[in-house]
């Protein structure tokens, strides 16, 4: 029985420390931007490629493309684009090349939140990017904290009500 335990514990040790699931140093959540395009029909106009320019200044006179570093970058398929970054600048311009061989550039838009969603309207010569309100803007950690604060407020309210009713009943 002791030999079986030793072999079993050795096997567990080897599986834990030599696992193929290598932990990477960069495992936390990253800010994202999801771009939903209005005016794309399957088989007609499609996205070829895209560039997301980041700007610190509101007029985007300092625009620079979002660098592709690890998971950071702008990734497009034929119908939508998604950007992931270690942190976004406050202002952006989206430039997309379409299957009609026209490259369109967007208006200047602001970062809407940690997980933001945008509607992109395709116009003949440019793009109009507008932020969408979504609960995705609240990360799961923020929603959890909001739920905890609400539960705490309700709990304190119940305790105050009970104390009030007990004191009131004693005075009668």
Q: If the chain, 172 residues long, is cut into consecutive pieces of 10 residues, what is the mean pLDDT of each piece?
A: 72 63 65 88 82 95 92 92 93 93 93 90 91 65 76 88 84 71
In this predicted structure, what is the pLDDT of residue 21?
A: 54
User: Are the C-beta atoms of residues 108 and 58 closer than 8 Å to each other?
Assistant: yes
Question: Which tokens sit at 30?
Answer: 């990253």
Whole-model pTM: value is 0.63
CA–CA distance, 115 with 109 (Å, rounded to integer): 15
In this predicted structure, what is the pLDDT of residue 104?
A: 93
In this predicted structure, what is the pLDDT of residue 113?
A: 86
CA–CA distance, 66 with 46 (Å, rounded to integer): 22
Question: What is the residue whose two structure tokens read 């009131």?
Answer: 168
User: Are the C-beta atoms of residues 52 and 106 closer than 8 Å to each other?
Assistant: no
CA–CA distance, 160 with 164 (Å, rounded to integer): 6
In this predicted structure, what is the pLDDT of residue 25?
A: 59
In this predicted structure, what is the pLDDT of residue 43?
A: 64
In this predicted structure, what is the pLDDT of residue 105?
A: 95
Q: Which of 131, 100, 103 is nearest to 116 (CA)?
A: 131
């Amino acid at each position: 029985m002791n030999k079986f335990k030793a072999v079993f514990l050795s096997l567990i040790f080897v599986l834990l420390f030599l696992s193929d699931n290598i932990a990477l140093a960069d495992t936390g959540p990253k800010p994202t931007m999801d771009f939903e395009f209005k005016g794309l029909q399957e088989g007609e106009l499609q996205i070829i490629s895209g560039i997301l320019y980041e700007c610190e200044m509101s007029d985007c006179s300092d625009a620079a493309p979002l660098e592709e570093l690890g998971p950071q970058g702008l990734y497009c398929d034929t119908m939508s684009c998604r950007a992931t970054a270690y942190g976004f600048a406050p202002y952006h311009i989206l430039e997309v090349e379409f299957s009609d061989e026209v490259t369109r550039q967007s208006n200047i838009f602001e970062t809407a939140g940690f997980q933001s969603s945008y509607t992109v309207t395709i116009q003949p010569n440019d793009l109009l990017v507008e932020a969408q309100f979504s609960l995705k803007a609240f990360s799961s950690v923020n929603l959890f904290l909001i739920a905890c604060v609400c539960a705490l407020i309700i709990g304190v309210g119940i305790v105050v009500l009970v104390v009030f009713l007990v004191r009131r009943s004693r005075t009668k």
